Amino acid sequence: MIPKTAAILTALLALGCQNPADRCELTESCPFPDLSGPDLATPQPKCAAAKGLTGDTLVCVDFDKVSGLSDQALMGWDFTSLCPAGWQIASGKLQVKSFGTFVGTCSFTMPLTDLASPANQKYQSVTLAVVQRVDLNDKPAQLQTQQVMLGLDDPSRRIEFRTGSSPRQQNINAVSRGDLTAISGTSFQPLFKVTSSLASGATATGVQIESIAVMGNP
């Protein structure tokens, strides 16, 4: 029996250089580990605004996934202090209430990211990304605008200005640590401001925000 056993072992060792599928057929078993490796598929972003961005996710909200402006996911956001007209989430989009009759200014602020804090000192830039649709009057006598500023309603802190119409798209603004220091110190706190000099009626539907993300980039 010993010579026969040795012959079988020799044959099996010789099969070690063959395709694993062939060995399975010959030995009638598949004791081999999975050699395919880990799943290297691109991880899904935490929200639509973060799609395609790198870095650490600091803020990430899809407005169709929150129950309202008081949702836990929106802690630290201020939708009331700077908007007499009022913000609302309608059809999964953040927007000014009754935009057709809106005249004046309506703003909201996001949570503060302080690059001076120990947890954030590794970041050399911060990215603000927004998925939105814009439909504003751009006629001088009926001008409507959307602006994004850092911390305060101050044109010297503005990082974005929009009017007119644009389709649903992802708008991205990256601010380096050095540029942020010149604008607002180490504080990154987006302030969104919508203004309307004249009620639009049915001619413009305003700004409809679907998703917002803030990313920290080492």
Q: Which residues pair with 215 in a beta bridge?
A: 57, 127
Integer Cα distance of 211 and 113 in angstroms? 18
Token readout for 13 is 């060792």
Query: What CATH code would you report for 48-217?
Result: 2.60.120.260
Question: Which residue would you say has higher pLDDT here, 8 or 67?
Answer: 67
Mean confidence (pLDDT) of the chain: 87
Looking at residue 54, what is its pLDDT?
A: 96
Looking at residue 202, what is its pLDDT?
A: 79
In tens, the pLDDT along 124-158 reads 999 999 999 999 999 999 999 999 999 999 999 99
Looking at residue 180, what is its pLDDT?
A: 96
| Domain residue ranges in the chain | 1-38, 48-217
Token readout for 31 is 């004791």
Helix (H) or strand (E) holding 5: helix 2-14
From the list 145, 12, 122, 15, the residue with the least C-alpha distance to 58 is: 122
pLDDT at 31 exceeding the cut of 80: no
- Looking at residue 41, what DSSP letter applies? P
pLDDT at 56 exceeding the cut of 50: yes
Looking at residue 175, what is its pLDDT?
A: 97
In tens, the pLDDT along 201-218 reads 878 999 999 999 999 999
Looking at residue 44, what is its pLDDT?
A: 81
